[in-house]
């Protein structure tokens, strides 16, 4: 099997870029990437191998940690992201070059949606080299924000996360095929990212409510003339109903964030009905941060197991530095630490832990005091 650690590390000692044989066609002209890596001011290693739950490398962090342990040197390790096989994941060991932001910026940049993995990795390395990774990540996040204000009629969908949920249970071979499929799909479509209702500067309950009311109306209008797969349209209408129900019951900022997440799910289902990409993850720590382009291993306070959640680059960086990210709080408590019996948002991680958030809300499992 190509994803053999000894083989990978031996190869990395000769050249800083390793591409598994099954993925070579996804990384054309790797020599250009090697040149970019060699120009970086810190050691950078790119390890492009399939990631799959149950495989030798279940996620980016396991792979990068294993490679770093064997290489025994300060470095940046770039890999694929287990949550979305065409996205890039970065881990830093003993260096601080904002590599996580660099990867997040590339993952968010719609101009790179149709670029090859080679070009996306080169862009990531260039951001690390130039010291502009943080600024570029901010720019891409803000650009998403701007696109909210565009008329919905102009919207397209990015291919960014098509296979986000296709890889989890599959074999390594399946993951490789999925990665290639996504890559090919992205190569053939130049698409734009859909503005996300959750993206708003509003943070007070009053201004969030105003934003949520407007977004609910927009979703309703979008669904009026929606077409496509009947099952998906049903899901979209369910999400719309759930959002309306949640809005009626909403009292707090976490409740209103939940309304916006449900509206986002409605748009996702509506786009999927038209054959667009499936649901795309939001930042687990605070869905109001918008896209969660980075997978990060995280353990809840008092929890035994570390789980993988999707997060914005800023939160992901904080978690990896063992710091507390800017979490959405319910009063003084992180929303996910609220007694699950009292909060459907805590129970489901705003839908990241469980796929039945809409059904739970429709069943009336909203906050019970």
- Shortest Å, Cβ 283 to Zn ion: 3
The contacts of residue 284 (CB under 8 Å, 6+ apart) are 292, 298, 309, 310, 311, 315, 349, 350, 352
- Shortest Å, Cβ 288 to Zn ion: 8
- Shortest Å, Cβ 139 to Zn ion: 17
Helix (H, G, I), strand (E, B) or coil at 79: strand
> Contact, 294 vs 103, CB < 8 A?
yes
Per the structure block, which two tokens stand in for 207? 């201004």
Helix (H, G, I), strand (E, B) or coil at 255: helix
Is 16 or 349 the residue whose CB approaches Zn ion more closely? 349
- φ/ψ of residue 87, rounded to 5: -85, 160
Helix (H, G, I), strand (E, B) or coil at 47: strand
Q: Could you identify the residue written with the tokens 């943070």?
A: 203
Give Cα separations from 108 to 148, 201, 260 (angstroms). 15, 19, 20
- φ/ψ of residue 80, rounded to 5: -70, 170
Is 232 or 310 the residue whose CB approaches Zn ion more closely? 310
Is 268 or 291 the residue whose CB approaches Zn ion more closely? 291
Is 129 or 200 the residue whose CB approaches Zn ion more closely? 200
- Shortest Å, Cβ 326 to Zn ion: 6
Helix (H, G, I), strand (E, B) or coil at 54: coil
Which residues bind to Zn ion, rule: CB under 5 A? 283, 285, 289, 312, 315
Q: How far is CA 44 from the centre of its chain?
A: 23
Query: Interhelix angle for 253-273 vs 230-249, to 10°?
Result: 170
- Please, which residues bridge with residue 282 across strands? 291
E-state strands within the chain: 17-19, 44-48, 75-81, 84-93, 294-298, 307-311, 329-330, 333-334
- Shortest Å, Cβ 319 to Zn ion: 9
Is 285 or 345 the residue whose CB approaches Zn ion more closely? 285
Is 88 or 315 the residue whose CB approaches Zn ion more closely? 315
> What does the alpha-carbon distance between residue 250 and residue 252 come to, in Å, rounded to a whole number?
6
Is 159 or 287 the residue whose CB approaches Zn ion more closely? 287
Is 125 or 294 the residue whose CB approaches Zn ion more closely? 294
């Amino acid at each position: 099997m190509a994803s053999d650690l000894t083989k990978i590390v031996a190869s990395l000692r000769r050249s800083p870029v390793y591409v598994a044989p099954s993925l070579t066609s996804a990384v054309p002209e790797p020599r250009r990437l090697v040149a970019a890596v060699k120009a970086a001011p810190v050691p950078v290693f790119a390890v492009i191998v399939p990631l799959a739950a149950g495989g030798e490398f279940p996620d980016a962090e396991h792979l990068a940690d294993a490679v770093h342990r064997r290489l025994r040197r300060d470095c940046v390790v770039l890999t694929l992201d287990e949550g979305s096989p065409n996205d890039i994941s970065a881990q830093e060991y003993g260096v601080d070059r904002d590599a996580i932001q660099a990867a997040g910026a590339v993952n968010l940049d719609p101009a790179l949606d149709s670029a090859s993995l080679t070009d996306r990795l080169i862009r990531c390395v260039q951001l690390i080299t130039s010291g502009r990774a943080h600024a570029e990540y901010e720019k891409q996040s803000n650009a998403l924000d701007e696109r909210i204000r565009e008329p919905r009629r102009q919207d397209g969908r990015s291919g960014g996360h098509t296979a986000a949920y296709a890889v989890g249970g599959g074999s390594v071979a399946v993951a490789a095929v999925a990665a290639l499929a996504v890559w090919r799909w992205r190569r053939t479509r130049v698409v734009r990212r859909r503005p996300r209702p959750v993206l708003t500067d509003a943070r007070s309950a009053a201004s969030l409510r105003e934003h949520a009311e407007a977004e609910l109306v927009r979703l309703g209008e979008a669904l009026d003339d929606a077409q496509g797969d009947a099952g998906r349209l049903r899901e979209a209408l369910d999400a719309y109903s759930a959002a309306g129900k949640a809005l009626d019951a909403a009292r707090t900022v976490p409740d209103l964030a939940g309304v916006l997440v449900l509206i986002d799910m409605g748009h996702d289902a509506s786009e999927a009905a038209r054959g667009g990409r499936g649901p795309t993850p939001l930042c687990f720590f605070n869905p109001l941060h918008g896209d969660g382009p980075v997978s990060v291993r995280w353990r809840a306070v008092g929890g035994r197991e570390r789980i993988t959640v999707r997060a914005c680059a800023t939160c992901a960086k904080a978690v990896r530095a063992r710091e507390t990210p800017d979490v959405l709080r319910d009063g003084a408590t992180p929303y996910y630490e609220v007694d699950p019996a009292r909060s459907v948002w805590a129970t489901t991680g705003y839908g990241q832990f469980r796929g039945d958030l809409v059904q739970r809300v429709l069943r009336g499992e909203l906050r019970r005091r």
